[in-house]
Amino acid sequence: MMRFKENNYNKLFVSVSDFIRLICAGDRLKRITNIIDDLLRKEYLKKNKRLSILDYGCGSMEISKKLEEKNYIKSIVGSDIFNHSYKSKKLTYINNGRLFKENQKFDVIFVVDVLHHVGINNAHKILDKLSKLSKIIIVKDHFEHGFFSRQLLRFVDFYANYGYGVDVPKKYFNKNQWKKTLIKSNSKEIFRKNSFQQHDGLFNLILNKKHHFVSMIKIYE
């Protein structure tokens, strides 16, 4: 992996790049949130259950903020390596280091665009750790489709994460590698959306819908 400016949280760069991305690509997090919202409604509203959620690798916590107003949400904990001061009635933040020490249980965990950053060969290890906190995990990540596709993903990943000092991987999942990750983590896929439009405009031309997937998995003992 390449690492750029480790632990250098460049707020100005992040603010400018987020603004440019919003203009050129639209609100990708809103699209991801809508897919997760639809999935949760189908799986849980029929059970008349209010959910406790962990947003693992929550970043700016935008997905959590969008979901906290839903009436089926009981509570959301956002977790990441960065510090956040945001807190509301339903939403709190905890550092990743404290997360596993406290061993809090959740109904569902979100892992949005996180696993490829730890490396596709290590992704099952993260799922194993998270399985101690919940058996239901929703993963949003990327599929690559050959060398050129991989370089496009790396370019966009670099642009999106440079200001945070986040690793940019050398490879991303393909469908076969994702299947192997599920086997290694003793997981069964409940649902998968193999492609969807995440971006508008220029960014959609660079990374079309075939590069994005959402998977709901159940992890067994």
pLDDT in tens, 164-193: 667 788 999 999 999 999 999 999 999 999
Which tokens hold the place of 178?
């994702």
pLDDT of residue 42: 82
In this predicted structure, the answer to whether residue 26 has a pLDDT above a threshold of 60 is no
pLDDT of residue 37: 93
pLDDT of residue 180: 96
187-193 and 108-112 strand pairing: unpaired
pLDDT of residue 5: 42
pLDDT of residue 89: 85
Per-residue pLDDT band for 1 (boundaries 50, 70, 90) equals: very low
- CATH (one of 3.40.718.10, 2.60.40.1660, 3.40.50.150, 3.50.50.60) for 29-146+171-219: 3.40.50.150
Share of the chain above pLDDT 90, in %: 46
Of residues 87 and 185, the one with the higher pLDDT is 185
pLDDT digits (tens, 9 = 90+) for 89-110: 899 888 887 888 778 899 999 9
Of residues 22 and 215, the one with the higher pLDDT is 215
Q: How far apart are CA 39 and CA 20, in angstroms?
A: 30
In this predicted structure, the answer to whether residue 138 has a pLDDT above a threshold of 50 is yes
Which tokens hold the place of 67?
């979901």
pLDDT of residue 9: 44
Q: How far apart are CA 109 and CA 79, in angstroms?
A: 11
